[in-house]
Amino acid sequence: MPPISFEPTEAARAARDHFHRMASERMRPVSRKYDELEHELPREWVDWYWNVGRRGGPLVQGPGDGMVQVCMQAEELCWGDAGLYLRTPFAGLGGSAVAAAGTKEQKQRFLSVFQGDGPPAWGAMAITEPGAGSDSAAIETTAVLDGDEWVLNGTKIFCTGGEGAASAPGGFVVVWATVDKSAGRGGIKAFVVPAGTPGMTLVGLEKKLGIRASDTATLRFEGCRVPRANLLGSAEVRRDSPGAGDKGFKGAMATFDASRPIVAAMAVGVGRAALECLQEELAREGVTVRYDAPPVQQTALERDVLQMEAELQAARLLTWRAAAMMSRGRPNNLEASMAKAKAGLAVTKITQKAVEWLGPRGYSKQLLVEKWMRDAKINDIYEGTQQINLLIVARRILDYSSSMLR
């Protein structure tokens, strides 16, 4: 076993620097613009990333920091701009689901476009419905086998990256649907719906508090037909032990163990942006934050800044721990949810504090801090709300099943 260490590998450090430059040079300059333009495609970023940015960058390779490096990349790019990061042409959560639950053939068929030379493509995952948010087992979108095709009917909301994934050729949406409502979770399966498939309609985009550059789509499925081979995992419905040994619902849920540390890292990136902005302002004004002031001399500002630093670093370390466990192939369901719960709440508070301490300037649109506060809040909501992640942590530490702790 290697010792406890906080020293990133050479490769991870190089990657971090690479993505930091990318964030600083390519994202920050257009950050405000696409916050204000909301639904407009951020051409500068999308085209540059697709034509230049995605090539020649450091590759994530194991062994080594592996998933930690992925988290560092997410932190740097969300330090740049979380909305633009989510609008980046890549396979996204849909890609994670295909990678986690797909066959070799499916991975080849759906993921190779992201290495190809065609126009930009996006992947997305569609789970949430008007009547099913955190309770994803309650989804009502149906999938019925008709000959060699699955026929999907239903409505999906809050689909991050949904516009690009549903519209731009080459991309796809991974849609969760039930093949047997009476089987509960056991009947829930994931289907890959390629962009432009007839019967999949982009109904609209949400106007949001933050991450406005990200396309949060409502998608309607009406008699939407996909080949039988687009089902991820097995078609078998297990009633006896819902989800057990099934790559459907369980497989899709397992993608959260991989994605939650990344989302936590994204949160840390936004929180860091706001904290650094505050610290730079303090430095310009000649205000130093002392680490050796006795409590009665410590200012309220010093106290807050120290707490913000500690909270951000605690969130980052919990994130890296969950990621490092994943790299080692260890189960990280508990640690992934711990990281996500901590990071989501920590950066929500850190960014709110940064606006507070910067006063009218922090509140104004001259700076990006107010935007980061709006962007940060989503991290406490998507990929499992604070409460859902607490529920997962609680079940784990108490050793309770989902029926014992509801």
Partner 1 sequence: MIDFEPTEEQALVVATVRQFAANEIRPRARAADEAKAPAREAVAAAHALGLIANALPSRFGGGGERSAVLGALVAEELAWGDLACALAILSPALIAFPVADFGSAAQQAAWLPRHTGDAFVPGALALLEPAFGADPFRPRTQAKRDGAHYVLDGRKCMVPWLDGGDGVLVFADEGGRPQGFLVPRDADGLTAAPESYMGIQALPTVELALAGVRVPAEARLGGERGSDLARVIARGRVALAALGVGVARAAFEVARDYAKEREAFGTKIGQKQAIAFLLAQMAIEIDGARLLTWEAAWHLDQGADALREATLALDQVRRIGLEVSDGAVQVLGGHGYIREYLPELHLRNARGFASFEALALV
Site string for partner 1, 113-152 (x = CB under 8 A): ----------------------------------------
Active-site residue flag, 25: no
| Residues touching partner 1, count (CB under 8 A) | 50
CB of 394 to partner 1, least distance (A): 4
For residue 200, the surrounding DSSP H or E stretch is strand 200-205
Options 2-10, 39-47, 198-206, 376-384: segment touching partner 1 (CB under 8 A): 2-10
Distance CA 218, CA 274 (A): 31
Q: What whole-number distance in Å separates Cα of residue 263 and Cα of residue 232?
A: 23
CA 389, distance to chain mean position in Å, is 14
**Rounded Cα distance, 18 and 12, in Å:** 10
Nearer to partner 1, 217 or 338 (CB): 338
| Residue placing its CB nearer to partner 1 in the complex, 25 or 280 | 280
Task: Return the structure tokens found at 291.
Answer: 């680490």
Number of CB atoms found within 10 A of residue 180's CB: 15
| Residue with token string 């784990």 | 396
Least separation in angstroms between residue 209's CB and partner 1 is 24
Binding test (CB under 8 A) with partner 1, winner from 144, 145, 244, 394: 394
Residue 125 phi, psi dihedral angles, 5° rounding: -120, 130
CA distance 71 to 49: 19
- Under the criterion CB under 8 A, does residue 401 sit at the interface with partner 1? no
**What is the largest distance, in Å, between two alpha-carbon atoms of the chain?**
76
List 65, 76, 163, 383, residue binding partner 1 (CB under 8 A): 65
Q: Least separation, in Å, of the C-beta of 400 and partner 1?
A: 7
State whether residue 220 is helix, strand or coil. strand
Write down the least CB distance from residue 14 to partner 1, Å.
14
CB atoms within 10 A of CB 140: 14
Tell whether residue 295 is a contact of partner 1 (CB under 8 A).
yes
- When asked if residue 61 is in the footprint of partner 1 (CB under 8 A), the reply is no
CB nearer partner 1, residue 182 or residue 297: 297
199 binds partner 1 (CB under 8 A): no
Which of these, 11, 32, 15, lies nearest to 366 by C-alpha position? 32
If the CB atoms of residues 313 and 366 are measured against partner 1, the closer one turns out to be 313
Choices 39-47, 115-123, 194-202, 388-396; region in contact with partner 1 by CB under 8 A: 388-396
Rounded to whole angstroms, how far apart are CA atoms 162 and 282? Answer: 40
Rounded CA gap, 43 and 265, in Å?
A: 25
Q: Which of 14, 132, 306, 381 binds partner 1 (CB under 8 A)?
A: 306
User: Looking at 324, 326, 350, 354, which residue binds partner 1 (CB under 8 A)?
Assistant: 324
Question: What's the rounded Cα separation, in Å, for the pair 69 and 363?
Answer: 33
User: Which of 222, 185, 192 lies closest to 126 in space, CA to CA?
Assistant: 192
Give 147 or 295: the residue with its C-beta nearer to partner 1: 295
**Nearest distance in Å: CB 328, partner 1:** 8
Cβ-based nearer residue to partner 1, 20 or 208:
20
| 232 beta partners | 190
What number of CA atoms fall less than 13 Å from residue 269's CA on the CB side? 30
The dihedral through the CA atoms of 91, 93, 94, 95 has a sign that is positive
Do the Cβ atoms of 351 and 372 come closer than 8 Å?
A: yes
Provide the minimum distance between the beta carbon of 323 and partner 1 in the complex, in angstroms, as a whole number: 8
Q: Is there binding between residue 380 and partner 1 (CB under 8 A)?
A: no
Point out which span in 123-131, 179-187, 289-297, 366-374 binds partner 1 (CB under 8 A): 289-297
Binder among 15, 219, 315, 367 for partner 1 (CB under 8 A) = 315
- Backbone φ, ψ for residue 304 (5° rounding): -65, -45
Q: Please, what is the angle between helix 66-86 and helix 300-327, to 10°?
A: 120
Cα angle, residue 156 at apex, residues 151 and 159 outer, rounded to 5°: 120
Q: Which one of residues 138, 183, 317, 381 is an interface residue with partner 1 (CB under 8 A)? A: 317
Which stretch, 40-48, 147-155, 189-197, 307-315, contacts partner 1 (CB under 8 A)?
A: 307-315
From the list 163, 206, 281, 383, the catalytic residue is 383
What are the residues binding partner 1 (CB under 8 A)? Answer: 1-9, 12, 64-65, 68, 291-297, 306-307, 309-311, 313-315, 317-318, 320-321, 324-325, 335, 338, 341-342, 387, 390-391, 393-395, 397-400, 404-405
Which residues are known catalytic residues? 383
